[in-house]
Amino acid sequence: MAIAREAEPVGSLKEVREAGLDREDLLTVYRNMLVTRGVEERGHILYRQGKIPGSFYTGRGNEAGSVGVATAMGPNDVGTPLHRDMGVHITRGVEPWRIFAQYMGRADGPTKGRDGNVHMADGRLGLIAMVSHLPAMLPVAVGCALAFRIREEKRVAVGWFGEGASARGDCHEAMTLAGTRRLPMVFVCDNNQWAYSTPTHLEYASETVADRAQAYGFEGVVVDGTDVLAVYREARRAIEKAREGGGPTLIECLTLRMEGHAVHDDAFYVPKEMFEEWAKRDPIERFRSWLKDNADLTDEEEDEIALEIKKIMNDAMKRADDSPLPDPSTVTEGVYATPEDLDTPHHK
């Protein structure tokens, strides 16, 4: 018995306008999706060139989910995006060169080489850096929502989690606290159908992840995670509901992880047909055709945007590569915060 609501796909430009996006916004969404993929594709190249130490993860297939939700967030809303959510960082305005610097362990990455991959965030953009342990950031996101509730601010916290990570206790405790206190919180499940090599039926036994929302006293919605506009619309609805005191929502964005778990993984365990089927639903391709059909995206515009992004990428890689490696003598610096660290607008 499915309990969660299934979101409708988005149709016309009119509908989208009603949802709050004008043509310029739509092109920004399109750019953000392209930059998201561009950063990860370039990262892949850098990795193969041996410029990225450690491992390397991407969110291919999740560009609509991550960009769609981030687009719906207000400037003062906050979030805890994960390893498939590069689009959130991009949409919130993280400069690509800093991401490359992060990948390469350089001093100018958001974590100054202390952490790698997407384990980063720019706090000024309302994001909090993820840890590896999944889904350990959900209780943190709920704490942000609690702060907003205590201070009676009209702000919302968004917490991401994978369908696999939904099995761990942190997910349950976070949803329990958010549900009992009706906090201004939106839970976003990046359901990419695999947790490393583990299929969904070994991760959860409900029909959908969103079905679980009722266990916490709020609404669950399943949305096509390759349809950026549907994701946007549902996220916006949930965020505005939370903002107005309506409590949490769980949005499950269904997609497929289009690559291995990380760069070393060829995903032999994913049926080939599954990849083929979902390749047809590539979020960027889908949105591009939608723009052509519904918002008069011209070939010239398309080329222009492609060029623009190519340039951003090339400049960013160059600038990142110019960033120095961190100075080893700083290895013990900053383990403890000092009172000056609290000298931020947040901490007044």
Partner 1 sequence: MPVMSYLQAISDGLRVEMRRDKRVYVIGQDVGVYGGAFKVTQGFQDEFGPWRVIDAPLAETAIVGSCTGAAIMGMRPVAEMQFADFVSCAWDHLVTVAAKQRYRAGTPVPIVVRCPSGGGFSGGPFHSQNPESSFAHIPGLKVVCPATPADAKGLLISSIEDPNPVLYMEHKHLYRRIKDEVPEERYTIPLGEARIHREGDDITLVTWGAMVYTADEAATQVEAEGISVELIDLRTVAPWDKQAVLKSVEKTSKALVLHEDTRTGGFGAEIVATITEEAFESLDAPVKRVTAPDAPVPFSPPLEKAFIPQVEDVVAGLKDLAAY
212 counts as binding ligand TPP under rule CB under 6 A? no
Say which entry of a second copy, ligand TPP, Mg ion, none residue 169 contacts (CB below 5 to 8 A, set by partner kind): a second copy
| Cβ 51 vs Cβ 104: under 8 Å | yes
Site string for partner 1, 232-251 (x = CB under 8 A): --------------------
Cβ closest to a second copy, residue 183 vs residue 295: 183
HSE-up of residue 325 (Cα within 13 Å, Cβ side): 7
Q: Which is nearer to partner 1, 306 or 331 (CB)?
A: 331
Residues 6+ apart with CB under 8 A from 250: 4, 175, 186, 187, 189, 209, 210, 212, 213, 216, 218, 219, 220, 221
65 vs 113, beta carbon nearer partner 1? 113
Of 138-146, 238-246, 249-257, 297-305: span binding partner 1 (CB under 8 A): 138-146
Between 108 and 170, name the residue whose CB sits nearer to a second copy: 170
Provide CB contacts within 8 A for 222, sequence distance 6+.
Answer: 4, 5, 6, 7, 208, 210, 252, 254
208-267: contacts with a second copy (CB under 8 A):
211-212, 214-218
d(CA 206, CA 283): 26
CB of residue 342 to a second copy, shortest distance in Å: 30
Q: What is the DSSP string of 162-201?
A: ETTGGGSHHHHHHHHHHHHTT-SEEEEEEE-SEETTEEGG
**Integer angstrom CA distances of residue 18 from 7, 54, 155, 218, 251:** 16, 45, 22, 25, 20
Within a 10 A sphere around the Cβ of 199, how many other Cβ atoms?
Answer: 13
> Which of ligand TPP, partner 1, a second copy, none sits in contact with 327, Cβ below 5 to 8 A by type?
partner 1
Residues in contact with ligand TPP, counted by CB under 6 A, come to a total of: 15
Would you say 202 or 331 has its CB closer to a second copy? 202
**Binding characters for Mg ion, 128-167, by CB under 5 A (x = yes):** ----------------------------------xxx---
| Chain positions contacting ligand TPP, by CB under 6 A | 84, 132-134, 162-165, 168, 190, 192, 194-196, 257
